[in-house]
Amino acid sequence: MDASHLMVTGGAGFIGANLVRWLHRRHPRTRITVVDKLTYAGHRRYLQGLLDTDEVDLVVADIADREAMERLFSRSAFDGVFHLAAESHVDRSIDGPEAFIQTNIRGTFVLLECLRQQSEDCRFLHVSTDEVYGSLGEHGAFCETTAYDPSSPYSASKAASDHLVCAYHRTFGVDAVITNCSNNFGPYQYPEKLIPVVIRTLRDGQQVPVYGDGGHVRDWLFVDDHCLALEQVFRSGQSGRCYNIGADNEWTNLQLVYAICDRVDAILKRPDGYSRDQVTFVADRPGHDRRYAIDAGRIRRELGWRPRVDFEAALDRTVRWYLEYMTRIWGI
Ligand SMILES: NC(=O)c1ccc[n+]([C@@H]2O[C@H](COP(=O)([O-])OP(=O)(O)OC[C@H]3O[C@@H](n4cnc5c(N)ncnc54)[C@H](O)[C@@H]3O)[C@@H](O)[C@H]2O)c1
């Protein structure tokens, strides 16, 4: 990658922090400016060790603040923006959708306006989700031509931002690429999402709540494989094009929870089956999509991407990471 200065919005969040670590490891001379509001989901601690270097800096700012963003773009010539800043939790979007509209839609709009006004070449990589496509039945997979059909305020706000990015590419010629990725897992994910919540409750010997009958299916991808895909799309993706990212790795929520139970028991030396007995079924989330599955044929064929990490090994590493760092990072 020949970029000399990149902006990563949301770079102090889960995927963003993993991406900044990934890019810094692979391109140690590239300057990276993280732009992050540091909501509950982002923290300087996720970038520990990087913020002391000359290459990585953090600007605490709101992407929906137009003046602040214009100041940033006028001060520095960025070769590219990896746009990850978002409100990202579906349950929170049901309880209070407004922040999702403000950050995910207006924030993306403000960044696109900044790009439209600048004369230097700057590629915009918009990081989005497979949730924009809605829900699948038992068969089939989302491809890039699947019609958008979002179910939650979160996915609707991401869908709106995807459309804005396409429109700014077609109307104003902004150099933009979009990725729609399946569920990620790995270190630094705020412990409100499924995998860290399950690990925490099991560690504490509490009951693990599973929505509905636990038969909802998700396609899980280790965060480093997502980072590799983002790097490849940024470098070689065709402007104006969307790329689905997924690992062909479908699990029902219950299968995944049981897999975590067995690992926690092994690591904490508990009797076999101890944690599975903690699983309890709770009322389903409203509008809960039944199944997501990704057809990642385009990124595999056109850019040669494929997931590199073995799922079982990555899940094991992730469980161990949370057991070791949860208290240090979140004080829980
Ligand atoms: N987590 C997943 O499984 C997944 C899958 C596909 C796509 N995505 C997308 O990837 C991106 C990152 O997801 P994540 O899981 O890392 O989210 P996250 O919630 O862990 O992190 C989001 C980051 O954005 C920052 N932020 C929020 N509002 C902001 C604002 N107004 N201005 C500046 N910064 C702000 C937060 O402080 C945080 O650091 C999101 O756009 C999400 O839609 C996530």
Using CA atoms, how far apart are residues 219 and 234, in angstroms rounded to an integer? Answer: 23
Amino acid at 236: S
- Helix or strand run (H / E) with residue 60: strand 56-60
pLDDT value at residue 316: 97
Distances (CA, A) of 236 to 1, 168, 230, 240, 327: 9, 20, 10, 12, 40
Give the pair of three-digit tokens for residue 185.
């897992």
Task: Determine the structural domain holding residue 61 and report its residue range.
Answer: 5-190+221-248+291-309
Taking residues 149-172, report their average pLDDT: 97
pLDDT value at residue 120: 86
29 Cα: distance to centroid of ligand 1 (angstroms): 25
Using CA atoms, how far apart are residues 114 and 209, in angstroms rounded to an integer? Answer: 43
Q: Say if residue 3's pLDDT is above 90.
A: no
Tens of pLDDT, residue by residue over 309-327, are: 999 999 999 999 999 999 9
147 Cα: distance to centroid of ligand 1 (angstroms): 23
Please report whether residue 211 resides in a domain: no
269 Cα: distance to centroid of ligand 1 (angstroms): 35
Q: How far apart are the first and last CA of the chain?
A: 39
Q: Say if residue 164's pLDDT is above 80.
A: yes
Tens of pLDDT, residue by residue over 25-50, are: 999 999 999 999 999 999 999 999 99
Domain with 230 in it: what CATH number?
A: 3.40.50.720
pLDDT value at residue 118: 87
Nearest CA to ligand 1 atom 21: 13
pLDDT value at residue 309: 96
Please report whether residue 120 resides in a domain: yes
Nearest CA to ligand 1 atom 30: 62
Taking residues 111-121, report their average pLDDT: 93
Please report whether residue 266 resides in a domain: no
pLDDT value at residue 45: 96
Using CA atoms, how far apart are residues 332 and 311, in angstroms rounded to an integer? Answer: 26
Taking residues 91-104, report their average pLDDT: 97
Q: How much of the chain exceeds pLDDT 70, in percent?
A: 100
pLDDT value at residue 1: 72
Please report whether residue 300 resides in a domain: yes
Please report whether residue 234 resides in a domain: yes
Q: Say if residue 287's pLDDT is above 90.
A: no
Please report whether residue 268 resides in a domain: no
Please report whether residue 235 resides in a domain: yes
Q: Say if residue 2's pLDDT is above 80.
A: no
Q: Pick the atom of ligand 1 nearest to 245's CA.
A: 6
pLDDT value at residue 42: 98
Nearest CA to ligand 1 atom 1: 184
Taking residues 296-310, report their average pLDDT: 98
Tens of pLDDT, residue by residue over 214-259, are: 999 999 999 999 999 999 999 999 999 999 999 999 999 999 999 9
Using CA atoms, how far apart are residues 80 and 75, in angstroms rounded to an integer? Answer: 15
* Ligand 1 binding residues, C-beta < 6 A: 9-10, 12-16, 36-39, 41-42, 62-64, 84-88, 103, 107, 127-129, 158, 181, 183-184, 190
Q: Pick the atom of ligand 1 nearest to 193's CA.
A: 1
Task: Establish whether 46 is a catalytic residue.
Answer: no
Task: Establish whether 192 is a catalytic residue.
Answer: no
pLDDT value at residue 138: 86
Using CA atoms, how far apart are residues 51 and 49, in angstroms rounded to an integer? Answer: 6
276 Cα: distance to centroid of ligand 1 (angstroms): 31
10 Cα: distance to centroid of ligand 1 (angstroms): 6
Give the pair of three-digit tokens for residue 56.
């990585």
pLDDT value at residue 72: 97
Nearest CA to ligand 1 atom 13: 15
Q: Pick the atom of ligand 1 nearest to 63's CA.
A: 32
**Contact present, 276 and 258 (Cβ < 8 Å):** yes
128 Cα: distance to centroid of ligand 1 (angstroms): 9
Q: Say if residue 210's pLDDT is above 90.
A: yes
Ligand 1 pocket test target in 69, 84, 158 with most atoms within 8 Å of CB: 84
Q: How many domains does the chain have?
A: 1
Q: Where are the alpha helices (DSSP H) in the chain?
A: 14-26, 66-75, 90-95, 98-100, 108-117, 153-172, 194-203, 223-236, 253-267, 297-303, 311-330
Nearest CA to ligand 1 atom 12: 84
Q: What is the mean pLDDT of the chain?
A: 96
pLDDT value at residue 119: 78
Please report whether residue 271 resides in a domain: no
Task: Establish whether 262 is a catalytic residue.
Answer: no
Residue 178 β-bridge partners: 126, 242
pLDDT value at residue 137: 87
Q: Pick the atom of ligand 1 nearest to 107's CA.
A: 31
